[in-house]
Structure 1
Amino acid sequence: MKTLLTILFAASIIIAQNNVTLLSNLNQYPSAGYNDIWGYVDGSGNEYALLGVQIGTSIVNVTVPTNPVQVAFIPGPNSIWRDIKVHSTYAYIVTEGTSTGRGLQIVDLSQLPATATLVNTIETWFTRAHNIYIDNGYAYVIGTNNGGGMHILDLSNPVNPTRTFYYTGSNYIHDVYVWNDTVAAAAEDSYDLISVSNKFSPQLISVSMSLPGIYAHSGWMTEDKRYFVGTEEFNARDITVWDLADRTSWNLTVPTWQMPGASSYVHNLFILGNYAHISYYTSGYVVLDISDPSNPQLAGQYDTYPQNNGGTYNGAWGCYPYLPSGNILVSDISTGLYVLKFNGSIPVELSSFTAEVIGGSVNLKWTTSSEKNNQGFEVQRKIDNEFYTIGFVEGNGTSTEINDYSFIDRSVTSGKYYYRLKQVDFDGKTSFSDEVEVEVTNAVSFILSQNYPNPFNPSTNIKFSVPTSGYVNLSIYNVVGEKVGEIVNDILPEGKYSMTFDANNLPSGIYIAKLSAGNINHSIKMTLIK
């Protein structure tokens, strides 16, 4: 039997259920009702819930998790369905509603915590949509009014996106998960894998088998990108697990997982580390331990709908487990926003991860609030849409203190770069951080500048820069090609350098400074006048 829990408008009372603690509940629009939810963190580290309401989108500051406060409300078409995702400092909102504000709403979040502003509404390609997913600067919009295909939108201009393609090679697509230019699409009778490496010409890779009674609703990839954990909304199987080690075939590993002792429908699922965080309608918020993907285990639950566990579309609609604080956001259809804390065993709690360009290099910094059995972090950079390890930083084992880490990537040129951390336990278990993006606009180039002063007597300064670490030679020659001096002959890290050339023992004349690194050679003429 469930215990009926009455929660006031903004409860700050802390109540625990199964391994999950309630920090607060905000029910600001009880007569309207709620739908999906997403999260956002501003430049100052403040955390927000982007809460779908049937009449718009509520933006709630949850930095103090026991005291959530709405800071902005974006009106929208009245609809049971609303979906929200974030790119840079913008929120992108779609809905099935067709009244004022229909289509794609774009909201500027850069003014938070003061306010947020609707900056554009676009209905060029669709007037209603069921879901949206954003990855690597592209939005994928599905379940639109002109069919069940997938619109691919380029967000290079975040306020005025452009469409690259409308894909219709699958059945009706209800939801997608996207990584490394690959789409896992929940397409009614099957899950489909689609390559979007060419955003103007997506290609179908593979299709799962159709299972009796299943409706492929949504899903998420495990962090090693091997297993897809799918959800179906009709209580036939609830959760399935598919092995995608071979991208050309879907190997069914777990044919069904359902809530013990309940007939509730599953809705949406998100994976962080070794846990799947699930909005499970009348069973509320549910956590599965998927450290062994072939054998999911119930790890936690907080019931936002204590009336019953029946098969109705009430209770938890969505959840968001990716805030740096570790707090979980849950949206309940009737009772609004829940801020929860999952009390499971998290080996490393990563509270921040940032990338910054300094002096032509990328400086990565991250902070942990606690660590357990932490061997360290592999630093990974995306190269040709795949992540590769470029360094390793040792961890602090087991610690309850705040620990700061850093890593410098010197091997960059101008362009955008994406990084993530692969945390490694001493027992070999791993988990991945979210990606961070940084753009290098003034990377160091291979340059040999004209010496100064010139003419000179008897010394002059020679400045040069090298874009990558490697062997560098800077030598001085007379006009007949004889080497008369060697300033540098060593392995140098990427950077800018200033060297002094002293010609006190040389006669007046023209001299050549030659800088060599790999197959690149630059030279300058210098005039010595005594």
Structure 2
Amino acid sequence: NPTNPGTPIYENTTGDARSVYISGNYVYLADGSSGLAVINISNPTNPGTPTYENTTGNAYGVYVSGNYVYLADGSSGLAVINISNPTNPGTPVYEDTTDNARGVYVSGDNAYLADGSSGLAVIDISNPTNPGTPIYKNTTGNTYGVYVSGNYAYLADGSSGLAVIKITVPIAPGTPIYEVTDRSAIKVYVSGDYAYIADFTSGLAVIDISDPTNPGTPFTEDTDGSAYGVYVSGDYAYIADFDSGLAVIDISDPTNPGTPFTEDTDGSAIGVCVSGDYA
């Protein structure tokens, strides 16, 4: 029942869990200075003991595609780890970027990274064991999050809000188009004709992207904390709301988001992912 979230169940990690991705019976965490943490959640009410694979940077973002996990590894750029056996992750392979990689999204043969002051970085991963040289498209803000949908990359671009970049030709990204938000765009999730932004102290911002070349004016719903992460499932947006834990917002009408329902957590919620009946 999204309007009445249950009591949290915890499994601690040795780092600072910043981002989360669920695939099958495992949750993959970008665990800060501890790199990748993998936890068995075949029984979500009793998560397993974490398995780690350390990285040379600080892991901020995570994405799973096939037998590989892709980490936005801060000052080390992109880290690629074989997870064909999730209980024994492989040695990371790196491709550095010019700034600090904070978010990652994989689409087709390319990894798209939110690379801070360098904007968007695109890396060919057709051979995951030998990633290609990054191609960049700078933005006016500091890029923290990225989501790819269709022929466009949507960036959470800090003080510049939402940046939309055409990637029909990934090796030649288009000129960014912007829609400023109230505060600082930290993460972005695209569902249907809307982009959902975790907008720091302004909570959730919803932007019509039915025409990606002309994003609409944001609709905002504030939260009790500071929105650092966002995930959309069905008629609800789930917000990692830092000191306020999880915030759940009805978006059945995206132009009029509902009042948040909150479930506090012991730590500071930075990332969120939904799978089945669990966040």
Q: Report if TM-score (shorter chain) is over 0.5.
A: yes
Instruction: Report the alpha carbon displacement of residue 276 of structure 1 after superposing the two structures with TM.
Output: 0.6
Q: Is the 8 A contact 1:148 1:174 kept in 2?
A: no
Runs of 4+ in 1 over 6 A off after TM superposition: none
Note closer, same or farther for the CA distance 1:190–1:329 as it changes in structure 2 (3 Å cut).
closer
Instruction: Report the alpha carbon displacement of residue 78 of structure 1 after superposing the two structures with TM.
Output: 6.6
Q: Is the 8 A contact 1:217 1:231 kept in 2?
A: yes
Structure 1 residue aligned with 2:252: 343
Q: 2:158 aligned with 1:228, yes or no?
A: no
Instruction: Report the alpha carbon displacement of residue 68 of structure 1 after superposing the two structures with TM.
Output: 1.4
Higher strand share: 1
Q: 2:85 aligned with 1:160, yes or no?
A: no
Note closer, same or farther for the CA distance 1:128–1:251 as it changes in structure 2 (3 Å cut).
closer
Note closer, same or farther for the CA distance 1:73–1:167 as it changes in structure 2 (3 Å cut).
same
Q: Is the 8 A contact 1:105 1:122 kept in 2?
A: yes
Structure 2 residue aligned with 1:217: 144
Q: Is the 8 A contact 2:23 2:64 kept in 1?
A: yes
Q: Is the 8 A contact 2:97 2:134 kept in 1?
A: no
Give the TM-score normalised by structure 1: 0.45
Aligned counterparts of 1:182 and 1:127: Cα–Cα separation in 2: 21
Map residues 475-514 of structure 1 onto 2, 5 A cutoff: none
> Does the residue aligned with 2:133 lie in a helix, a strand or coil?
strand
Structure 1 residue aligned with 2:261: none
Q: Is the 8 A contact 2:53 2:89 kept in 1?
A: no
Q: 2:174 aligned with 1:243, yes or no?
A: no
Aligned counterparts of 1:151 and 1:107: Cα–Cα separation in 2: 19
| Number of positions where the alignment pairs a residue of Structure 1 with one of Structure 2 | 254
Residue type of the partner of 1:317? Y
> Does the residue aligned with 1:121 lie in a helix, a strand or coil?
strand
1:402-430 Cα distance to aligned partner (Å, 9 max, x none): xxxxxxxxxxxxxxxxxxxxxxxxxxxxx
Q: Is the 8 A contact 1:83 1:132 kept in 2?
A: yes
Aligned counterparts of 1:182 and 1:246: Cα–Cα separation in 2: 11
Q: Is the 8 A contact 1:181 1:196 kept in 2?
A: yes
Aligned counterparts of 2:253 and 2:103: Cα–Cα separation in 1: 28
1:23-66 Cα distance to aligned partner (Å, 9 max, x none): xxxxxxxxxxxxxxxxxxxxxxxxxxxxxxxxxxxxxxxxx223
> Does the residue aligned with 1:288 lie in a helix, a strand or coil?
strand
Q: Is the 8 A contact 1:105 1:118 kept in 2?
A: no
Give the TM-score normalised by structure 2: 0.81
Structure 1: tracts of 5 or more residues without a match: 1-63, 306-313, 347-530
Structure 2 residue aligned with 1:199: 128
Instruction: Report the alpha carbon displacement of residue 252 of structure 1 after superposing the two structures with TM.
Output: 1.4
Aligned counterparts of 1:71 and 1:298: Cα–Cα separation in 2: 35
> Does the residue aligned with 1:72 lie in a helix, a strand or coil?
coil
Aligned counterparts of 2:146 and 2:30: Cα–Cα separation in 1: 19
Q: Is the 8 A contact 1:84 1:91 kept in 2?
A: yes
Instruction: Report the alpha carbon displacement of residue 116 of structure 1 after superposing the two structures with TM.
Output: 1.6
Mean Cα displacement is larger for which, 133-142 or 288-297?
Answer: 133-142
Aligned counterparts of 2:91 and 2:23: Cα–Cα separation in 1: 16
Instruction: Report the alpha carbon displacement of residue 160 of structure 1 after superposing the two structures with TM.
Output: 1.0
> Does the residue aligned with 2:144 lie in a helix, a strand or coil?
strand
Aligned counterparts of 2:9 and 2:106: Cα–Cα separation in 1: 29
Q: Is the 8 A contact 2:21 2:27 kept in 1?
A: yes
Instruction: Report the alpha carbon displacement of residue 326 of structure 1 after superposing the two structures with TM.
Output: 3.0
Aligned counterparts of 2:229 and 2:144: Cα–Cα separation in 1: 13
Aligned counterparts of 2:217 and 2:253: Cα–Cα separation in 1: 11
Q: Is the 8 A contact 1:107 1:120 kept in 2?
A: yes
Instruction: Report the alpha carbon displacement of residue 287 of structure 1 after superposing the two structures with TM.
Output: 1.1
Q: 2:230 aligned with 1:319, yes or no?
A: yes
Residue type of the partner of 1:117? G
Note closer, same or farther for the CA distance 1:142–1:77 as it changes in structure 2 (3 Å cut).
same
Instruction: Report the alpha carbon displacement of residue 328 of structure 1 after superposing the two structures with TM.
Output: 1.8
Aligned counterparts of 1:65 and 1:218: Cα–Cα separation in 2: 25
Instruction: Report the alpha carbon displacement of residue 172 of structure 1 after superposing the two structures with TM.
Output: 3.1
Q: Is the 8 A contact 1:87 1:137 kept in 2?
A: no
Note closer, same or farther for the CA distance 1:249–1:271 as it changes in structure 2 (3 Å cut).
same
Instruction: Report the alpha carbon displacement of residue 300 of structure 1 after superposing the two structures with TM.
Output: 3.6
Q: Is the 8 A contact 1:151 1:163 kept in 2?
A: no
Instruction: Report the alpha carbon displacement of residue 152 of structure 1 after superposing the two structures with TM.
Output: 0.5
Residue type of the partner of 1:272? S
Q: 2:44 aligned with 1:118, yes or no?
A: no
